[in-house]
């Protein structure tokens, strides 16, 4: 099992203690496991949840088998989470629902591939690659931007990534988190 995304680990301290977490397009559940181990109840959503079989009986875990791209209604309508984590996944029609799922005091932690990644491997289809500043444009005016990155990463393999941490907060967020560790503060 791969380690949790460094972006997720870096901003996990902003998730309110004990708050519910949504791990969207969870795959084999590396972030589900990470947040469960931090004491959060987790809702893990994916179209193939077989990778979660070994933890299916863990307390505070809700597993939802859902194809997020088949045109069905958003399966979590009306629900809010202290964190919404999305890693290595992009389906643009979901952006409004994803952002609306962030509860007051909660955070959006998004980390996926961006244009330019096609030079380094998959994904190479522009439908699955974020455009420059796309996450900022989507989050601006809806969440407070705590940190944003876009660019080349050498490890774990060469790739182009775009990442954002956005908070639904009434006052500036960032206490206890070093925004100088490679992040561009846009707040």
Question: pTM for the complete prediction?
Answer: 0.89
Q: What is the pLDDT of residue 149?
A: 94
Looking at 3.40.50.300, 3.30.1330.40, 3.20.20.70, 3.40.50.150, the CATH number of the domain 6-167 comes to 3.40.50.150
Query: In 10 A of CB 146, how many CB atoms?
Result: 25
Q: How far is CA 103 from CA 54, 78, 100, in A?
A: 29, 10, 8
Domain ranges of the chain: 6-167
CA pseudo-torsion sign 9, 10, 15, 18: positive
Which stretches of the chain are DSSP H helices?
6-11, 30-37, 95-100, 134-139
Q: What is the pLDDT of residue 97?
A: 97
3-state helix, strand, coil in the chain (%, to 5): 25, 30, 45
**CA atoms within 13 A of residue 35's CA, in its CB half-sphere:** 34
The DSSP secondary-structure symbol of 184 reads B
**Mean pLDDT, the chain cut into blocks of 10 residues (187 residues total):** 90 96 97 98 97 96 96 95 96 96 97 85 84 93 93 86 92 52 37
Asked if 101 and 83 touch (Cβ cutoff 8 Å), the reply is no
Query: Nearest Cα to 32, choosing from 42, 24, 17?
Result: 42
Query: Nearest Cα to 69, choosing from 92, 99, 42?
Result: 92
What backbone phi and psi angles, to 5 degrees, belong to 52?
-105, 5
């Amino acid at each position: 099992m791969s380690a949790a995304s460094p972006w997720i680990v870096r901003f996990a301290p902003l998730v309110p203690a004990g708050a519910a977490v949504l791990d969207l397009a969870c795959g084999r559940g590396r972030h589900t496991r990470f947040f469960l181990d931090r004491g959060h109840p987790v809702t893990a959503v994916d179209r193939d949840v077989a990778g979660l079989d070994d933890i299916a009986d863990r307390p505070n875990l809700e597993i939802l088998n859902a194809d997020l791209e088949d045109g069905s209604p958003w399966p979590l309508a009306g629900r809010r989470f202290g964190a919404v984590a999305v890693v290595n996944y992009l389906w643009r029609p979901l952006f409004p629902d994803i952002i609306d799922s962030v509860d007051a005091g909660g955070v959006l932690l998004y980390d996926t591939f961006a244009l330019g990644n096609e030079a380094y491997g998959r994904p190479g289809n522009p439908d699955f690659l974020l455009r420059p500043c796309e996450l900022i444009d989507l989050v601006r005016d809806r969440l407070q931007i705590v940190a944003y990155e876009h660019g080349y990463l050498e490890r774990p393999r060469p790739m182009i990534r775009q990442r954002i941490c956005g908070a639904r907060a009434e006052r500036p967020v960032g206490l206890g988190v070093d925004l100088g560790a490679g992040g561009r503060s846009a707040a």
